[in-house]
Amino acid sequence: MGRSGDGLIAEDNRPMANETSSVTIFHNPACGTSRNTLALIREHGIEPQVVEYLKTPPTKARLKSLVQAMGVPVREVLRQKGTPYDELGLGDPKWTDDQLLDFIALHPILMNRPIVETPVGTRLCRPADLVLDLLPKQ
């Protein structure tokens, strides 16, 4: 590994994320939007920390911090399609944000994706090009 400017360079000559450009993507490789978002991040010369959240689910505390950083209601990060959303009755307004976070922690498929976290901000990147607002200008 060598140095190039301010960034580290991996053996494949792709810039690697460092403290000033740390980017995390909560990724589902089966999702086209998630794959496109990851590709856009890499096109900007950033190798993000990729969290395959179905294999390594975030804790309830981590989910809460992501939602707070995004400044959105918990319901905005709930995925309905292809999940146990209806089976669990999550459309019912009786569920508190805290309870919804419990459900997402227990059933990570309920988390909408991809969520991207950068020093600029955190957001659900649907459509994928929303990630561009979170990346350093080229």
CA 57 to chain centre: 11
Task: Examine the residue annotation and report whether 31 is marked as an active-site residue of this protein.
Answer: yes
Domain limits, the chain: 1-53+113-138, 58-110
Q: Would you say the CATH fold of 58-110 matches that of 1-53+113-138?
A: yes
CATH architecture of residue range(s) 1-53+113-138: 3-Layer(aba) Sandwich (3.40)
The rounded distance, in Å, linking the Cα atoms of 17 and 100 is: 32
The DSSP element (H or E) to which 2 belongs, if any, is strand 2-4
Global confidence as pTM: 0.82
Give the tens place of pLDDT for each residue, 21-30: 599 999 999 9
pLDDT digits (tens, 9 = 90+) for 37-91: 999 999 999 999 999 999 999 999 999 999 999 999 999 999 999 999 999 999 9
Tell me which of 8, 9, 31, 88 is the catalytic residue.
31
CA distances from 11 to 22, 48, 63, 65, 70 (A): 19, 16, 33, 34, 34
What is the third-level CATH fold of 58-110?
Glutaredoxin (3.40.30)
Q: How many CB atoms lie within 10 A of CB 96?
A: 10
